[in-house]
Chain A
């Protein structure tokens, strides 16, 4: 019985967890509940992914109403992969959360903080698993509202402003998405993604479909912080509590990318999106702008969380670059980078969160000599930093390799050159931190620092190891990503 209901459980368990969390009074009890829920999730998504890899997509008709009348949950290789990614990040993060949240959020607010975290998880998983365009909007809003609150709970008063600005931009994005869905509904009469995909080719060349494509693309691009729609992201990541930053940086934008992939390749179809409209060219241009523009800004940041946030915008550029290439190697690069970037960015933000836990600052000047006091944390920072740069032997290299192959397949050799050049910018901003942390005498701030508690340390160490492991053995990540890309390119099975 549990086996056949896995798709529903994937979303319902965190939802029930959030509800129960809201009824608890003590922060530790809420943490324990969130931990149990988070650790259950990878098993659910892992079981589904394994099932999908063997026997094809799972369709689950909620309420017992067959699609397109009811809402369908649909797990294929891509959504199974992203579900596993999101739930795995949550599972790795939870032990870390206890000390971090304990220090950064008022004790009285902790149960509800974990409620918000679980709701955010519910929303993200709901977006990925659903096969219904409108249902995706509802869960997009669940995760978004929870995200605004998580950000606003940062200690700095600028966190409030960041949350407000994100609320405005996020709502505009979601509304544009709804407008696009409304137009598609007006010309097809259906909301189910598979049903849409079957009905659209007949009316492809009409104006509402073009407009719908534009609205949905821009709406989702606001959410995934595609350059130049990224302005909400740096402040949001910089001022949110450390745990929220790690979770959002590793999952939220990835889920938006997933939704975009879903619409481009499953609903509208490769043929329509990339041949009748210059979407590919636009995406490549904006991605290159993100890779360079955001990296340049990152170099001049004093606040390391902000620096990493700008680095995220640049990294999202790599992901969208692969989408713009829209060929087997390029898409594989994009999809595998969803996973790889989640690992390395989570690791970096966790390391900085640990430093903040010890010295109460994320300013680069206060980091002087911190490497000697927290060698494991900052050693890991170096490893994850190398991954961001794309050094061979780390996960970052795998992504860039696939992207480069994709660019060459497309006859865009100059893109390979740009990829290498943008990596040099990453060397500069990561190198700055490494230089200050390791090659300067410990300053006043760092003098009394030490390694963080075990519960914080272990998740970081796991991620540091994974950042290298998946850089060497790629059969799991790149293998699945390659299959997902193949299915996207050849159409629904």
Chain B
């Protein structure tokens, strides 16, 4: 039981770590530029859990004040992550725009092929 509750207590963190590592793996390992950006998105998204999880109080409620409740989860991480989401989508939009331009300039979005073409040019 002790072990089980230990796993339960840290389950969020294990999954967070797994998501983050997978995202990072995609970014580093794959040559396709769109897929890299998807991986980057996973990598950034997993950070949300890292921030939000410690703010949760079991039995608490969302931080919208109401006389009916007394325990609220911590609002500060929510604010930070709202900012992080915005930064993430801004980066994604810019990255995708670059990919479109790269595709126009090189005719491909695979990094390896681009390196080949630059070598030849």
Contacts and interface: CB of A to CB of B under 8 A. Distances in A.
Direct chain A–B contact by Cβ atoms under 8 Å: yes
Interface of A: 134, 137-138, 141, 145, 148-149, 152, 157-158, 160-161, 163-164, 167-168, 171-172, 174-175, 178-179, 182-183, 185-186, 191
B80 interface: yes
A164 B24 contact: no
Contacts of B118: 158, 161
A145 B40 contact: no
A134 B101 CA distance: 32
A164 B99 contact: yes
15 contacts: A134-B83, A141-B90, A148-B94, A157-B106, A160-B98, A161-B102, A164-B33, A167-B94, A171-B91, A175-B43, A175-B47, A178-B47, A179-B47, A179-B50, A182-B51
Interface string B11-44: 0000000001000100100000100100010011
B40 A178 contact: no
A168 B44 contact: no
Contact of A171 (B44, B80, B105, B114): B44
Given A163-B98, A175-B47, A141 B87 contact: yes
A160 B105 contact: yes
Contacts of B84: 178
A141 B102 CA distance: 22
A357 B36 CA distance: 36
A172 B91 contact: no
B33 A172 contact: no
Interface of B: 20, 24, 27, 33, 36, 40, 43-44, 47, 50-51, 54, 76-77, 80, 83-84, 87, 90-91, 94-95, 98-99, 101-102, 105-106, 114, 118
B94 A182 contact: no
A183 B77 CA distance: 12
Nearest to A166: B98
Nearest to A149: B94
Summarize A's interface: helix, strand, loop or mixed: helix
Nearest 9 Cβ contacts at the A-B interface: A157-B105, A186-B54, A164-B98, A182-B50, A141-B87, A160-B102, A182-B51, A160-B101, A167-B95
A182 B101 CA distance: 35
A185 B51 contact: yes
Among A157, A174, A191, residue most surrounded by chain B Cβ atoms (within 10 Å): A157
Contacts, number: 69
Contacts of B91: 141, 145, 167, 171
B98 A148 contact: yes
Contacts of A172: 24, 27, 40, 43
Contacts of B98: 148, 152, 160, 163-164, 167
Contact of B102 (A137, A164, A179): A164
A450 to B, nearest CB: 31
Most chain A CB atoms below 10 A, which of B43, B76, B87: B87
Contacts of B76: 191
Contacts of A178: 47, 84
A119 to B, nearest CB: 12
Nearest to A144: B91
A158 B115 CA distance: 10
Contacts of A160: 98, 101-102, 105
A100 to B, nearest CB: 22
Nearest to A138: B83
B77 to A, nearest CB: 7
Contacts of A149: 94
Nearest to B103: A160
Nearest to A163: B98
B27 A168 contact: yes
A182 to B, nearest CB: 5
A172 B43 CA distance: 8
B51 to A, nearest CB: 5
B99 A168 contact: no
B47 A171 contact: no
Contacts of A182: 47, 50-51
A179 B20 CA distance: 10
Nearest to A157: B105
B90 A145 contact: yes
A62 to B, nearest CB: 15
Interface core residue of A145, A164, A179 (most chain B CB under 10 Å): A164
A143 to B, nearest CB: 12
B25 to A, nearest CB: 12
Contacts of A152: 98, 101
A186 B77 CA distance: 10
